[in-house]
Amino acid sequence: MKIRTLALLALCLLVACSDGNDDSRGTNIEQSVRALVAQMTLEDKIAQMAGEGSVLLPEGEQFWTVPGVERLGLPPFKMADGPRGVGTVEGATTFPVGMARGATWDPQLEQRVGAAIGRELRAAGGNVLLAPTINNLRHPSWGRSQETYGEDVHHLARMAVAFVRGVQEYALANPKHYAANSIEDTRFQVNVTIDERTLREVYLPQFRAAVIEGKAASLMSAYNSVNAQFCGENEQLLRQILKTDWGFDGFVLSDWVLGTQSTLGSALNGLDLEMPVARFYGDNLLAAVTDGRVPESVIDEAVSRMVRKKLEFGLDRPSGLDVSEIGSKAHLALARDVAVNGSVLLQNNGGVLPLSASAHPRIVVAGALADMPNTGDSGSSDTRPTFVVTPLQGIEELFGDMVTIDHIGKDVLNPADLARVQAADAVIVVTGLTAADEGEGLIGAGDRLELGLSAQRTQLIRDAAAVNDRTIVVLEGGGAITMGDWLADIEALLMVWYPGQMGGYAIADLLFGEANPSGKLPITFPASLEQLPPFDNESLEVTYQYFHGYRYVDRNDSTPEFPFGFGLSYTSFAIERLRASQIQAGAGDVVRFSVDVKNTGTRAGAEVVQLYVNYPGSVVPRAERELMGFARVFLEPGETQTVEIPLAVNRLAYYDVTQGAWVLEGLQHEVRLGTSSRDLPLSIMLSVAAQQDVSVE
Ligand code: BGC
């Protein structure tokens, strides 16, 4: 055994030192993969194609394990969730949820989050992170809305690539759930029917980007079926699109337990690894290979994919990281920064925010959530932070010696409470949703069929607003919340999502003006449920249409409560002088749009410039406006910067189902820029020459 291990180490060293260029390194890895797989018995190989252990992670265990081959020096995979931090590691940093991070519109920051989580995972001894969740949010009723980044496929793709790159500085990322997993309560059985164009344009591009640009090492298949084939054995999704069209060289693992539905179908159609334990693989797969129903070449391919990633990521070598990484000061500071940048100021009548100690010396902080740790779902994305800074703690710790804080920690206010609220210079009502309202199906609260707040929490806001005309609502939750008429009763509204373990500090900083809000909604906040497509979490047959989110609201000409891309600041910005590097373009061109952004207010702050395209005269139904680029810019008061947003023309193509190809239309495209999907003051026409069969990768 020792000799083999040494032989492998020597081989790896050779690979690491031979360097030259990526190609030669790649060739060497491929040679090593072949050499290693050739030394494995069929039993060795089959053992690597399923997790070992039990359905539930036993108490005290941090990772799900997939065996390696010890005598060949091949280490096991050690997997942990998840999307807001390393879930099963005590004290790992709890970041704001994916939706909050989506609201930063800041891929660079997201890459740092990915890197921090990857580092903590590796330091704890893990090597595969079961994240990011990148399902397109078809409807905010989805119980796991909080885990993903939003409802727009371009924005999702940018955030997904960033997170994957960050994680993969240290460990393997596992974007999930491939694909069209956006209903919780029927997730194990539902069949999602999607036409090919919708699938390719709306539900897959972020996975394509994670694979091709992000070089994701692995992917998790979804529980549901797509077009009548379970995702864990879906020939079109796994074999054709992922492994052939996109050239994915990593491995696919199933979602837990019910994510694998067969031995033959799964193995033949491209599921490389059954998790968390062998049910259809293991002995069943061994028998299928032995009696010729599954060719051994299929097994070799699956195992090669996993071995390749073990070698590429150097999983056989010590990480050099120690446990001081876990919940480190630097990571906690990052979590706080992200919570600041992901909070969205939705209303600020009369500039009531930021609060100041001189104008508002007596403040009431009200609501059952004010002093409650509220970091999100209790399902698989749950984490184990050693502490959580609640909004009340954040306010008290940072501003408690400047203002008098009166805490009313409940949702039902009696006359005495109301008298306290009335006597205050301002009231901060902390409310929203918790893990009891939304989350993963079966192990969490599942889908959320009503988008409004509970009657009790609505009443809390109304009661406070009735006696205090400086009512500020801090809203927590993982997705869109409908406001109803209480919105008109309050002065300010700050959407903070589930802001992570440092959220309380971020909220305090934002409310008191130590930080300036700059988040933008990554989803539409509709005025009512009726403005959205139907959400059916009972039927086992659903159809996903081409339009959802802002594209649906725009198409129906509805007026949402707050549009996609919207968010206020304590300062003001002017954007002017839109120009393009060219106004006639063709396939393969990248057109650069630039605009001057000026901070016209008195505080430093960040703005997110957004570029949308519309397609007048298209032969297929298209979005009224579609996000195609964005850039975040930080400006001191009075400062102007030129912001450039590139647009790869091929991305304007639609998927032509009859040809099975991407087609660029010969159109005058209207390119519009502004600061939300409904505030696009600048526009320019871009004439594009028609071209059949363009590459969008
Ligand atoms: C979830 C996955 C998660 C896995 C392991 C499943 O139920 O859908 O997202 O990674 O459990 O916890």
Per-residue pLDDT tens over the stretch 516-543 = 999 999 999 999 999 999 999 999 999 9
Distance CA 280, CA 97 (A): 33
Average pLDDT, integer, range 15-41: 77
Distance CA 489, CA 473 (A): 11
Beta strands, E only, 134-213: 172-173, 191-194
- Ligand 1 pocket check for 509: Cβ under 6 Å: no
DSSP labels for 230-274?
EGGG-IIIIIIIIIIIS---SEEEPPTTTT---SHHHHHHT--BB
Average pLDDT, integer, range 420-445: 97
The packing angle between helices 153-167 and 205-212, to 10°, is 30
For 289-312, the pLDDT digits (tens) are: 999 999 999 999 999 999 999 999
What mean pLDDT is reported for the chain? Answer: 95
Residue 586: exposed, middle, or buried by beta-carbon count in 10 A (0-12, 13-18, 19+)? middle
Main-chain phi, psi angles of 21, to 5 degrees: -140, 175
Residues of the chain above pLDDT 90, percent: 94
Q: What type of residue is 57? A: L
Q: Which residues contact 498 (CB under 8 A, 6 or more apart)?
A: 84, 96, 97, 99, 100, 146, 374, 375, 376, 476, 477, 478
| Residue showing tokens 């797969």 | 285
pLDDT band at residue 484 under the 50/70/90 scheme:
confident
Q: Which residues contact 323 (CB under 8 A, 6 or more apart)?
A: 123, 124
pLDDT at 23: 65
pLDDT at 8: 41
Average pLDDT, integer, range 77-96: 98
Please state which of the ranges 14-18, 350-354, 366-370, 611-615 shows the lowest mean pLDDT.
Answer: 14-18
pLDDT surpasses 60 at 195: yes
Nearest atom of ligand 1 to the alpha carbon of 82: 10
Quote the tokens at residue 588.
């393969």
pLDDT at 6: 35
pLDDT at 218: 99
For 560-587, the pLDDT digits (tens) are: 999 999 999 999 999 999 999 999 999 9
CA dihedral 502, 508, 513, 515 (to 10 degrees): 0
Task: State the pTM of this model.
Answer: 0.96
Q: Which carries the bigger pLDDT value, residue 19 or residue 161?
A: 161
Nearest atom of ligand 1 to the alpha carbon of 57: 12
pLDDT band at residue 27 under the 50/70/90 scheme:
confident
- Ligand 1 pocket check for 158: Cβ under 6 Å: no
Identify any residues that bridge with 84 across adjacent strands, giving them in sequence order.
Answer: none
- Ligand 1 pocket check for 380: Cβ under 6 Å: yes
Longest pairwise C-alpha distance within the chain: 81
What is the whole-number distance in angstroms between the Cα of residue 46 and the centre of ligand 1? 23
- Ligand 1 pocket check for 656: Cβ under 6 Å: no
What is the whole-number distance in angstroms between the Cα of residue 255 and the centre of ligand 1? 6
Main-chain phi, psi angles of 207, to 5 degrees: -70, -40
What is the whole-number distance in angstroms between the Cα of residue 376 and the centre of ligand 1? 15
pLDDT band at residue 363 under the 50/70/90 scheme:
very high
Q: How many CA atoms lie within 13 A of 269 on its CB side?
A: 20
- Compute the Cα dihedral for 265, 268, 269, 272 and give only its sign: positive
- Ligand 1 pocket check for 548: Cβ under 6 Å: no
- Ligand 1 pocket check for 255: Cβ under 6 Å: yes
Distance CA 530, CA 60 (A): 46
Domains of the chain (ranges; CATH) run 46-323 (3.20.20.300), 335-555 (3.40.50.1700), 573-694 (2.60.40.10)
Distance CA 362, CA 424 (A): 5
DSSP state of 280: S
Average pLDDT, integer, range 244-265: 97
What is the whole-number distance in angstroms between the Cα of residue 635 and the centre of ligand 1? 41
- Ligand 1 pocket check for 81: Cβ under 6 Å: yes
pLDDT at 17: 39
Nearest residue by C-alpha to atom 6 in ligand 1: 256
What is the whole-number distance in angstroms between the Cα of residue 170 and the centre of ligand 1? 21
Distance CA 527, CA 562 (A): 8
Q: Is 377 helix (H, G, I), strand (E, B) or coil?
A: coil
Q: How many CA atoms lie within 13 A of 31 on its CB side?
A: 12
Cβ proximity of 372 and 476 under 8 Å: no
Distance CA 172, CA 254 (A): 16
- Ligand 1 pocket check for 377: Cβ under 6 Å: no
Average pLDDT, integer, range 181-185: 97
What residues are labeled active site?
Answer: 255
Report angle CA 152, 156, 159 to the nearest 5 degrees.
145
Distance CA 346, CA 350 (A): 13
Quote the tokens at residue 98.
């994916």
pLDDT band at residue 21 under the 50/70/90 scheme:
low
Nearest atom of ligand 1 to the alpha carbon of 176: 9
Nearest residue by C-alpha to atom 12 in ligand 1: 380
pLDDT at 22: 57
pLDDT surpasses 90 at 55: no
Quote the tokens at residue 263.
């031995």
How remote is the C-alpha of 307 from its chain's centroid?
A: 27
Quote the tokens at residue 631.
């850039």
Q: How many residues does the chain have?
A: 697
Quote the tokens at residue 545.
């249409």
Nearest residue by C-alpha to atom 7 in ligand 1: 256
Q: Is 616 helix (H, G, I), strand (E, B) or coil?
A: coil
- Ligand 1 pocket check for 221: Cβ under 6 Å: no
Nearest atom of ligand 1 to the alpha carbon of 64: 5
79, 84, 130, best to mutate for ligand 1 pocket (most atoms within 8 Å of CB): 130
What is the whole-number distance in angstroms between the Cα of residue 297 and the centre of ligand 1? 29
